[in-house]
Structure 1
Amino acid sequence: MSCSSTSRSPGWADLPSEIVVSIAKSLVVAEVIRLRAVCSSWAWALGKSSGLRQNGLYNPFPWILLPNYSLEDADFCTFFSITEDRFYRIPSLKQFTDHRYHLLSSSHHGWLVTIDNVLAPCFLNPLTREMFHLPTLLTIPSRCSIFHSALGASYNKRMFYDQYLRKIILISTPLEERIAVAFCRTHYHGICMLFAGVEDEVWSIGPSLPLDLKCSLDDAKYNEGDDKLYALTSSGDVFVLQFKNHTLEIVSMVCRPIGYEHYHMFLGYISFSHGDLLLVNKYLRSYPSYNNAIKDTAFKIFRLDRVSCWAPVDDLGNEALFIGPNNCFALHDVEERKKNKIFFIHGVPIPKHLCFERK
């Protein structure tokens, strides 16, 4: 008696899992999502959403979340890909469409931060559909004097995240620890720093700024290169924080640039370019004769050099800076029409944008 067997030629679905992972490591997250949808064997090799990070598939993708003018009636989110010059619509999450949720800010690697009607922050990634929750901000210790006593019973939660809560940023490395830092404005225009992990039940108070440094927060940015958080004050100083030994510490301070014109009305932003810290000031001017309309008049860029001195930047070269209310980033080797430009992508109706070119 003889037996026969059938054989087939190997196809793309039989590609070894280590090769699939190796290919995916050179792709941005959006492309990895598409790759995982090709067949079940590739999806298995790349794992679930969390597996993207476990396998090191974590390249950032320069997308901008656009305003939703349909409000709760829309069932999608619209993103603009800067490098592709195209729009993407993806099915929305309830954190975008439910009026109980308020989009607060963004963090690195595509994480968005929302806050609900009990002041509980939620980190979510609209592409991978991952999300995790942090304890409600109602657990802030009472000794953290955030609220103005004159508000009394008139205080409400909307006032808190509109006027007092400045930023929440994910700082943990590795990401499985998921530690976040919150910056709040105190009633005397100072800065209160808080931190919490995904398994914590309450927020803990972070370090205090020096007594002679009474100012508010302009911007904050986490740098994966040195695993530190950089925070820019309204006075132009930058303090550097790091999460060590289960607590948040100020590890260094960077003084404002020499001749820093802090008496001007301006907005300050920070970003990183090739590992260097950039400081961007956008100067504003009020026009009383036009109902106190505020116009952008000029901007300055500084780069922190290797000896911790600020150097003026007159040319961005092949780079472009994108400055937004929640996040700022630099793109390298962009197309010719975007080189040596700064794009301010907030406060301007879509699809218009405001662009300054270095001369």
Structure 2
Amino acid sequence: MEAKKALQRDWSSLPIEVLNLIAKKLGEISDFVRFRAVCTAWRFSTPSTDLPQQFPWILMKHQNTTDLSFYSIPSNKIYSIHASKSLGKWLYGPLEGYMLADLYYQSLWEFGDPFALTLQPSLFNPLNNHEIPLPTYDFEGLPYRFSCMGEYVFSYGYADYQKPKLVFWHLGQANWCELNLTSDYVNCKHICLKGMIFNVERDTGVTKVINVTTGTLAYVIPPIEGHSAAGSKFIVDAFGEILRFFQHNSPYAGLVYDAWFDVHRLETKENGSRCWVKVDSIGNQAVFIDSYSCFVLKAHDFTGIKRNCIYFLTRINHGQEAPKYGVERIDIMTGAREYLPYPLKEPKSWFVPSLQRL
């Protein structure tokens, strides 16, 4: 009799407080969607805007189709999504639950002279097919390279094919802003923090911090000892701290594409000057890096993320074998490396899944 009563229990009458507690434990977006689909009461108790923080997915773009494939590391699941507005576009870099979308470079020639083409990148959420056009800007002097850092989109290239120029756009901003740079070589994924843009110059290794409002130089951070121009530099806001990641590449270590990182934190000396200090711990945080973006998450907010680690999309094989790609997790303190299972082809970018509409 008791078992029969249990089967007849009306689960839709659970208190809202209990439903909210259950929903917050759903770290996989597919489980969250199914939870909301159980009944009307469960759906209204958990708005789509209350999606729990999600472990980043990995995008593999299917060229010339509208089908996208994402891989979730914690659940070992592949999600195939039909996104009609993604056709002919390059998607990369997480930005507030969206990705940056622009035309494939190889597609530009189909439109005539690519140097005369005015591009209009957009923000795109592949989960709900919502697109937000960015302000029109004449990206002269291709190739321009885009990156998403925080709430900013950056692009750099050469004005008049000679003078380096950095343009950036902030979420909700009416127009792109421009900064003319003094260095002939720029090799940095930029960050804007509290009205300051950090730019590492490739030729000198110095970090120039520029005031966004005035366009003037605020201060200079000396180069790191043993500075190398080869490699990628990422500067990121890590919950109030500014971290700098330098990616060394050794492309032919046997057949393994070997990459390793130096990590520095920005510190202020007693005399007020700034400097980069090498660290082997970033505490209870984890870093996610691909070719276009870098962001930091608090490890304790997610199931399965290891603290003080770098999650890096990389090429595993090189040389004469067919290239294989995957995800590498690097312990910052010990340098221990671990290749995580990855069943898809070349990974393009990290994406933080979200159902929101900006």
- Contact 1:167/1:184 (<8 A) preserved: no
- Paired with 2:26 and 2:197, the residues of 1 have a C-alpha distance of 26
Name which of 280, 286, 300 aligns with 1:314: 280
CA–CA separation in structure 2 for the residues paired with 1:34 and 1:298: 40
Distance 1:16 1:85 in 2: 29
- Name the structure 1 match of 2:4: none
- Which one of 79, 89, 106 corresponds to residue 71 of structure 2? 79
CA drift of 1:42 comes to 3.7
Q: Cα–Cα, structure 1 residues 86 and 184, in superposed 2: closer, same or farther, change >3 Å?
A: same
In structure 1, the partner of 2:249 is 284
CA shift in 2, pair 1:91/1:285, >3 Å: closer
TM-score between both structures, scaled by the size of structure 2: 0.63
CA shift, 1:46, in A, is 4.5
Contact (CA 8 Å) 1:134, 1:197: kept in 2 or not? no
Who is 2:310 aligned against?
Answer: 342
Correspondence list, 1:1-359, <5 A: 11-14=10-13, 30=29, 32-47=32-47, 52=49, 57=50, 60-68=53-61, 71-72=63-64, 75-81=67-73, 84=74, 86-96=76-86, 98=87, 100-103=88-91, 105-116=92-103, 119-138=119-138, 146-147=140-141, 160=142, 163-168=143-148, 171=151, 181-186=153-158, 187-188=161-162, 190-195=164-169, 200=174, 203-209=175-181, 211=182, 213-221=183-191, 232-234=200-202, 235-237=205-207, 239=209, 252-253=218-219, 255-259=221-225, 261-262=227-228, 264-284=229-249, 296=258, 298-305=260-267, 308-315=274-281, 319-331=285-297, 332-333=299-300, 338=306, 340-348=308-316, 352-357=326-331, 358-359=334-335
Cα distance, 1:304–1:199 mapped onto 2, change above 3 Å: closer
Q: Which residue of 1 aligns with 2:5?
A: none
Any idea what the Cα deviations from partners look like across 1:287-314, whole Å, max 9, x if unmatched?
7xx9xx9964653111123654322113
Amino acid at match of 2:96: H
Aligned 8 A contact 2:251 2:258 in 1 = no
Paired residue secondary structure (2:326) = coil
Distance in 1 of aligned mates of 2:309 and 2:223:
22
Which residue is 1:143 aligned to? Answer: none
**Which segment is superposed worse, 10-19 or 264-273?**
10-19
Distance 1:197 1:73 in 2: 28
Aligned length: 295
Q: Determine the C-alpha separation between the residues in 2 that align with 1:249 and 1:18.
A: 50
Bigger share in strand: 2
After superposition, the C-alpha distances for 1:155-196 in whole angstroms (9 at most, x for unaligned) are: xxxxx4xx213325562xxxxxxxx54322113362321437
Q: Mind listing any 5+ residue stretches in structure 1 that lack a counterpart?
A: 1-8, 141-145, 148-159, 172-179
User: Which residue identity lines up with residue 88 of structure 1 in the other structure?
Assistant: I
- Paired residue type of 1:86: N
Whether contact under 8 Å (1:80, 1:86) holds in the other structure is: yes
Determine helix, strand or coil for the equivalent of 2:96. Answer: helix
2:214 & 2:21 partners in 1: Cα distance? 35
Q: Secondary structure at the match of 1:304?
A: strand
TM-score by length of 1: 0.63
Mark the CA change 1:44 to 1:59 in structure 2 (over 3 Å): closer, same or farther: closer
Q: Contact 2:66 / 2:85 at 8 angstroms: preserved in 1?
A: no
Instruction: Give the whole-Å Cα distance in 2 for the aligned partners of 1:356 and 1:302.
Output: 16
Residue 345 of structure 1 deviates from its aligned partner by 0.8
Which runs of no fewer than 5 residues in structure 2 stay unpaired? 1-7, 109-117, 317-322, 336-358
User: Which residue identity lines up with residue 120 of structure 2 in the other structure?
Assistant: A
2:137/2:176 contact within 8 Å kept: no
Confirm or deny: 8 A CA contact 2:99 2:125 kept in the other structure: yes
1:115 CA drift (Å): 1.5
Separation of aligned partners in 2, 1:27 and 1:237: 41
Conservation of the 8 A alpha-carbon contact between 1:341 and 1:355? yes
CA spacing shift, 1:112–1:344, aligned 2, 3 Å: same
Distance 1:66 1:207, change over 3 A: closer
User: Is 123-132 or 27-36 further displaced after alignment?
Assistant: 27-36
Deviations 1:223-261 (A, max 9, x none): 6xx68765555335153666xxxx796795551444251
Counterpart amino acid of residue 75 in structure 1: D
- 1:301 is matched by which residue type in structure 2? V
